Structure 1
Amino acid sequence: MKKISKIFVVLLVFVISFANINWSTENANATPAKTYENLYNEAKKHLGKSYTWGGNGPNTFDCSGYTKYVFQNGVGVSIPRTSGGQYSASTKISRSQAKQGDLVFFDYGNGIAHVGIYIGNNQMINAQDNGVMIDNLNNSFWSRYIVGFGRMTNLEEPSKGKETLYAKNDLYILKSGNWNSGTAFTLAKGSAAVIDFDRTQNGFVHVKSGTQEGWYSGAMDPYWSETKIVNDKKREKSGCMQRMIYIY
């Protein structure tokens, strides 16, 4: 009886150990989440690495070898090996529609010859002659040869939520995410509005103030404040009173 019990215990330990090994293997091989954060974290790991024509990584790359490696290891998405293949396989989008994680393509005169990963603010991370680095798309060289943008996969975007901000000046809130759509209402200086950063149209964000709502350009920092705006007239009056007290 004791012998049977020992055999049972040994078998039980073996089963549990096997299950743990199998669970660990599955987790080790789990596909990473398809987020821009994961893609960019993988991309920037290789900044400064050398360019080699035909380089597939992880020590050296060429342009399309780099994008393929980053997509595969960053978000578990397999894309074609060449820049031309990636261009053909991508969903073409305009520059105004480009999001972080999209690909940007270049043609020097004989077809698609270079590709990089768009990281926002008119910048891309790419493997070029000087190695893996970040370049500005408005640079005189890159801007001359840019062909367009392509999307290989829809990356998950973390929620940015809503925030109450205050207008630093009178602001024109548009009827839609289009510069030519006309003004929905004017938000007076110092007025509060709820900005919904997850609700966007062509780079515009949704704005609501009381019962009025519309759209505003994504350039928020220079025109909005997180704190209430002090009335200039009150500030000037206060300053004048202080100077008068000082004089007397």
Structure 2
Amino acid sequence: MKKYYFIFLPVLLLLFTSGCGPKYDYTIHKPKVKYQAPSREALSKLLNKQLGKPYIWAEEGPDAFDCSGLVYYCYASMNMQQIPRVSRNQAKVGKEVSVKDLRYGDLIFFDTTPRKTGQITHVGIYVGDGKFQHAANEKEGVKISSLSKPYYRSRIKLCRRWLPEEPASGPAAFKPLKPIRIASAGTKTKCKSCFSVPQKVTAKHGDWFIQVGAFRGTPDPKWLAHIRALGYDYRSTPGPDGMKRLLVGPFVSREDAAQVLPNAQHEFNPKAFIKKLGT
């Protein structure tokens, strides 16, 4: 009996593992086009729907993803169906940008090998505020991580931009505002190549804001989506002239607002300025 036991045991183990082990679908499934053209607003909607979904290697959605599968799914859903499927090939496409010039939707490629061999093995999508969304691993699934963590920061290989430049239509809809002179030297620094990474995030409470525009009625929803896409909060307040003020914030202190002001002037309105509520 022992002889038959040892003969059939490997067969039984093979049947068991083939039936209960992970199943991978290696076929590349192109997602249904949900948006006819890529945009920050469309990408934001796509990314929000994927948060919390599981990580499964070789999957590109819609129910599970690996890292490059998430990138492939989101961009192909915006009618960019000729993009590569795997991260090492995705890293060859698009405009190369530096970390300090990252904007919403840019791709960040990492070397996650234990000894940093120089290979591109992971990719994430920048979502503003120094953070990126990615299909992290089997334990954590699709999540948002911070570039400030040494593990990720030290493993960045390069960054690419796939989203086309969008016209800055938001500020044109606002009535031009007269800028206020700020005594702090830091707020008057000229910005030749401002970057879209907020130096300090907006807080839950505070009296300091950056005024980026004035409007009657309601602001353009696309403009508000642009503000959110870059990781900022906002509010509107009535002004004495009947116009409403569009404010980015709040910030705990004037110094915090001053650090973000050059970025706000670059991204939202060149005439943006710091304002404290109640003044």
* TM-score normalised to structure 2 length: 0.52
**Secondary structure of 2:177's partner?**
strand
CA RMSD, Structure 1 to Structure 2 (Å): 3.3
Deviations, residues 159-208 of structure 1 (Å, cap 9, x unaligned): 331563765851442445269xxxxxxxxxxxxx9968x9xxxxxxxxxx
Listed as ranges, the matches of 1:1-248 within 5 Å are 31-73=35-77, 75-78=78-81, 79-108=83-112, 109-110=116-117, 111-129=119-137, 130-156=140-166, 159-161=169-171, 164=177, 167=180, 169-172=182-185, 173-177=188-192, 217-218=262-263, 224-225=274-275, 229=279
Distance 1:105 1:119 in 2: 14
1:83 to partner: Cα distance: 0.6
Distance 2:57 2:33 in 1: 30
1:76 to partner: Cα distance: 1.3
Letter in 1 for 2:131: Q
Unaligned runs of 5+ in 1: 1-27, 180-192, 199-215, 230-248
Distance change >3 Å, CA 157–CA 113, structure 1 → 2: farther
Distance 1:119 1:147 in 2: 18
Tell whether the 8 Å contact from 2:40 to 2:163 is kept in structure 1 after alignment: no
Distance 1:142 1:166 in 2: 39
Distance 1:131 1:29 in 2: 24
Distance 1:132 1:194 in 2: 34
Distance 2:62 2:34 in 1: 20
Letter in 2 for 1:149: C
Tell whether the 8 Å contact from 1:34 to 1:156 is kept in structure 2 after alignment: no
Unaligned runs of 5+ in 2: 1-31, 195-209, 214-222, 224-260, 266-272
Distance 1:43 1:85 in 2: 21
* TM-score normalised to structure 1 length: 0.58
Letter in 2 for 1:156: E
Tell whether the 8 Å contact from 2:106 to 2:161 is kept in structure 1 after alignment: yes
**Secondary structure of 2:71's partner?**
helix
Instruction: Give aligned-pair identity as a percent.
Output: 28
Distance 1:54 1:29 in 2: 20
Letter in 2 for 1:217: P
**Secondary structure of 1:53's partner?**
coil
Highest CA radius of gyration, 1 or 2?
1
1:54 to partner: Cα distance: 0.6
Tell whether the 8 Å contact from 1:35 to 1:157 is kept in structure 2 after alignment: no
Tell whether the 8 Å contact from 2:71 to 2:124 is kept in structure 1 after alignment: yes
**Secondary structure of 1:81's partner?**
coil
Distance change >3 Å, CA 124–CA 165, structure 1 → 2: farther
